[in-house]
Structure 1
Amino acid sequence: MNTEIEWQKSSFSGGGGEQCVEIAAHAGEILMRESDDPGAVTTTSRAKFAAFIEGVKAGEFDHFAR
């Protein structure tokens, strides 16, 4: 069985990839890390991640990007 984690970056990330948030699905959880600090990994459930994505789509976090 292959247990290697396959990280995914957004297509909106910069060309160099050094300032990216990466995500992966592993063992029923969602893993998140920053590409410039790959050893610090945060985990969450699929349900919580889905709720976050819905909030992003609704614009709830837009003020953080300004």
Structure 2
Amino acid sequence: MQKQGLTWRKSTRSAAAGHCVEIASAAAAVFVRDSKDVRGPVLEFGTRGWAEFIAGVRDGEFDR
């Protein structure tokens, strides 16, 4: 599903090879897509769930 009117961005740490995801924020959601397939599927997360995910990443919750 294409999301119209969103501003997509990649991490400043992403490599030049393009193996990354892009995110776009809206009032009540954060959207995620594959940077190599911008017309492909888009995942949608509520802002609260996204904030909890980011906090988990920062805390090392998903480290191997």
Which structure shows the bigger proportion of residues in strand conformation? Answer: 1
Match of 2:12 in 1: 11
Unaligned runs of 5+ in 1: none
Deviation at 1:26, TM superposition (A): 2.5
Aligned length: 60
Match of 1:43 in 2: 44
Q: For 1:25 and 1:7, how far apart are their aligned partners in 2?
A: 8
Structure 2 length as normaliser, TM-score?
Answer: 0.82
Which structure shows the bigger proportion of residues in helix conformation? Answer: 1
Match of 1:28 in 2: 28
Instruction: Choose 5-14 or 30-39, whichever is displaced more.
Output: 30-39
Unaligned runs of 5+ in 2: none
| C-alpha RMSD of matched pairs (Å) | 1.4
Percent identity, please. 40
